[in-house]
């Protein structure tokens, strides 16, 4: 077999965002685009000679083709072995687990997560390091730098590998092992949770719907919930991963998971509903008639995690991204443990988890996870909820009511303005920056601004500094609004507006979030001029 040395030149737009590189699928399919990025990853991590990698993705359109390219390039670059999920399938948390369990030098995960899939939709690729977590900023900077001066990539003159058959084969001297994508992950979940208690819950007649949204978690959820825990067949809906996710938008929130929401608010609603995203790292939790915001879910899980075997000894600390509500901070304060506030994106939790300073982490965008892997983990969150429901015997609604009564409620919502012209979005952010000095003390409607700044993070473990991580405006009432531009979009800019207020009055704990936040929502527009800058009079998505 001959190694092919192929001349190339830099292609613009290969800067990784919040979670790897995401582009329109057709862009990834342009000649050399994928190859340049894969070679830049290899070069950026100091080469892959003699190294081992995990490779897999969420099964979206182009997943299998891209894996064949990656395998040929890994072989040409001298990698010793690639371990690949059968059919090219690995959920993001399952890939993270395999990197850790098999002690590989990292992995390549192919996914654009919750973004739609298909030739006219989105594709993505990211590198995770030997700890199983997304490459940190230092590494992604090196990868990006290489994309700007790359001149050569390497491949081998070899045919496609059969990804559908378990076992070991070889390509130009590199071992390729095709493994079952589900079994190691299911075994890990069995170690963490009390499967007997959860099986007992299902035996007692407890009902559930899990919406896999035709994305990667289908096979995982069927194996764990139905086969191992005894939930009735059909508990998992939309269980077959499809290259275009059935034409849907595999983002587990009340808007995109409306099929599940209709079931949970309809007649004969099951006790519990959950959904996961394209690559299986996000989760949505909903009780009968009771949606749980991701920020509240993180707080409830932190308050009750000790009911699951793996966390029976308590939590070392908790961490949340800055725009996530402070609900979990109140739990941490009550438990006397540290609460860390990080920039958006799971890569910022890695050091805290590795150093044993945080056990549970979460983001308002429906991501929750723990030190069991180095990614957020959708099914893990669902199983922790089930374990807590099994031990407490409470309904989701009761658990939420009790939690708010004890800690108060952080009303929370996120308003997204999608595909805004980049110049307009930047102008809105710059307009906010120009008001930092004048805002404090100003009244906006019934509210008074107390603070205005841009979040920067100093990593407490390695001391690295990350600036420009979101503009936050605090009010004397304890409420706040945060403005950020998305780092995962593939079209124009998405402005995210995160809204939060805190309520302790027992008679005001069960109101509609949009109503409870109406003053903050009005203040956000008054201060940022959202309507003026974007020309939109309402957000595209409210979660
Ligand atoms: C979004 C979320 C962020 C999450 C990221 C990746 O990023 O806000 O919390 O970590 O997606 O999630 P952004 O930059 O668009 O706001 V996933 O499920 O795409 O891996
Ligand atoms: Co995801």
Q: Are residues 20 and 139 in the same domain?
A: yes
Q: Are residues 145 and 267 in the same domain?
A: no
Q: Shortest CA distance to 260 belongs to which of 300, 213, 193, 330?
A: 213
pLDDT at position 489: 76
| % pLDDT > 70, the chain | 100
Enumerate residues 6+ apart whose C-beta is below 8 A from 381. Answer: 283, 285, 297, 301, 368, 369
Q: Are residues 172 and 255 in the same domain?
A: no
Q: Are residues 237 and 301 in the same domain?
A: yes
pLDDT average, residue stretch 156-169:
96
Q: Are residues 399 and 282 in the same domain?
A: yes
Q: Is 414 in the pocket of ligand 1 (CB under 6 A)?
A: no
Domain boundary among 372, 407, 442: 407
Contact 428, 534 (CB under 8 A): yes
Look up the domain containing 69 and give its range.
3-179
pLDDT average, residue stretch 354-380:
97
Tokens of 326: 């402070």
Mutate to test the pocket of ligand 1, among 92, 363, 468, 488 (most ligand atoms within 8 A of CB): 488
Is 160's pLDDT higher than 90?
Answer: yes
Q: Are residues 51 and 148 in the same domain?
A: yes
Enumerate residues 6+ apart whose C-beta is below 8 A from 372. Answer: 97, 188, 192, 310, 380
pLDDT average, residue stretch 500-528:
94
Q: Are residues 326 and 226 in the same domain?
A: yes
Contact 364, 253 (CB under 8 A): no
Q: Are residues 347 and 418 in the same domain?
A: no
Is 460's pLDDT higher than 90?
Answer: yes
Q: Are residues 45 and 190 in the same domain?
A: no
Domain boundary among 155, 179, 203: 179
Q: Are residues 226 and 356 in the same domain?
A: yes
Is 137's pLDDT higher than 90?
Answer: no
Domain boundary among 384, 407, 430: 407
For residue 365, the ligand 1 atom closest to its alpha carbon is: 9
pLDDT at position 490: 76
Q: Is 91 in the pocket of ligand 1 (CB under 6 A)?
A: no
pLDDT at position 207: 97
Which listed residue (19, 111, 113, 297) is catalytic? 113
Q: Are residues 171 and 207 in the same domain?
A: no
pLDDT average, residue stretch 164-175:
96
Q: Are residues 477 and 535 in the same domain?
A: yes
Mutate to test the pocket of ligand 1, among 297, 344, 489 (most ligand atoms within 8 A of CB): 344
Residue 221 Cα, ligand 1 centroid: separation in angstroms?
22
pLDDT average, residue stretch 115-144:
95
pLDDT at position 40: 98
Return mean pLDDT, the chain. Answer: 96
pLDDT at position 9: 97
pLDDT at position 2: 84
Say which CATH number the domain at 466 has: 3.30.310.50
Say which CATH number the domain at 148 has: 3.40.120.10
* Residue nearest atom 6 of ligand 1, based on CA coordinates: 19
Quick: pLDDT tens for 251-262. 999 989 999 999
pLDDT at position 26: 97
User: Could you give the ipTM of this predicted complex?
Assistant: 0.97
Tally of structural domains, the chain: 3
Q: Is 51 in the pocket of ligand 1 (CB under 6 A)?
A: no
* Residue nearest atom 17 of ligand 1, based on CA coordinates: 113
Quick: pLDDT tens for 209-268. 999 999 999 999 999 999 999 999 999 999 999 999 999 899 999 989 999 999 999 999
* Residue nearest atom 1 of ligand 1, based on CA coordinates: 488
């Amino acid at each position: 077999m001959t190694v092919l040395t192929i001349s190339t030149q830099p292609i613009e737009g290969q800067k990784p965002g919040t979670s790897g590189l995401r582009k329109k699928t057709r862009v990834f399919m342009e000649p050399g685009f994928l190859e340049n990025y894969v070679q830049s990853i290899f070069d950026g991590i100091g080469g892959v000679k003699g190294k081992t990698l995990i490779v897999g993705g969420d099964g979206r359109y182009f997943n299998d083709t891209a894996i064949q390219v990656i395998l040929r390039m890994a072989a040409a670059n001298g990698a010793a072995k690639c371990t690949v999920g059968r059919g090219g399938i690995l959920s993001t948390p399952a890939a993270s687990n395999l990197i850790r369990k098999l002690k590989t030098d990292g992995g390549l995960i192919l996914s654009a997560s919750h973004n739609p899939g298909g030739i006219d939709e989105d594709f993505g690729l990211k590198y995770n390091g030997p700890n199983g977590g997304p490459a940190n900023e230092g590494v992604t900077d090196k990868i990006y730098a290489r994309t700007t001066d790359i001149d050569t990539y390497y491949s081998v003159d070899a045919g496609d590998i059969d990804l559908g058959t378990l076992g070991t084969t070889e390509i130009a001297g590199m071992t390729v092992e095709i493994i079952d994508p589900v079994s190691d992950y299911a075994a890990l979940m069995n170690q963490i949770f009390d499967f007997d208690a959860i099986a007992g819950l299902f035996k007692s007649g407890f009902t559930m719907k899990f919406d896999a949204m035709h994305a990667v978690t289908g096979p995982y959820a069927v194996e764990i919930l139905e086969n191992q825990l005894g939930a009735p067949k059909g508990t998992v809906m939309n269980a077959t991963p499809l290259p275009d996710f059935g034409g849907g938008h595999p983002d587990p929130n009340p808007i995109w998971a409306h099929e599940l929401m209709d079931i949970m608010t309809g007649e004969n609603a099951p006790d519990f509903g959950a959904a996961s995203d394209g690559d299986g790292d996000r989760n949505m939790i909903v009780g009968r008639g009771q949606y749980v915001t991701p920020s509240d879910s993180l707080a409830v899980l932190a308050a009750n995690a000790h009911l699951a075997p793996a966390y029976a000894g308590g939590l070392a600390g908790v961490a949340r991204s800055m725009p996530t509500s402070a609900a979990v901070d109140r739990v941490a304060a009550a438990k006397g443990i540290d609460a860390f506030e990080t920039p958006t994106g799971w890569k910022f939790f890695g050091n805290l988890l590795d150093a044993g300073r945080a056990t549970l982490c979460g983001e308002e965008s429906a991501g929750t996870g723990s030190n069991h892997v180095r990614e957020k983990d959708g099914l893990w969150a669902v199983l922790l909820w089930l374990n807590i429901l099994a031990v407490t015997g409470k309904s989701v609604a009761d658990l939420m009511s009790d939690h708010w009564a004890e800690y108060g409620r952080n009303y929370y919502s996120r308003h997204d303005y999608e595909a805004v012209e980049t110049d307009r979005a930047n102008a809105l952010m710059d307009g906010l920056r120009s008001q930092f000095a004048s805002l404090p003390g100003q009244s906006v409607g019934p509210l008074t601004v107390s603070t205005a700044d841009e979040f920067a993070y100093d990593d407490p473990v390695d001391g690295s500094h990350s600036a420009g991580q979101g503009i936050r405006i605090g009010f004397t009432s304890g409420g706040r609004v945060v403005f950020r531009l998305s780092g995962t979009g593939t079209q124009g800019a998405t402005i995210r507006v995160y809204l939060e207020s805190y309520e302790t009055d027992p008679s005001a704990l069960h109101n509609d979030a949009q109503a409870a936040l109406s003053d903050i929502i009005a203040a956000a527009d008054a201060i940022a001029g959202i309507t003026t800058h974007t020309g939109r009079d309402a957000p595209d998505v409210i979660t």
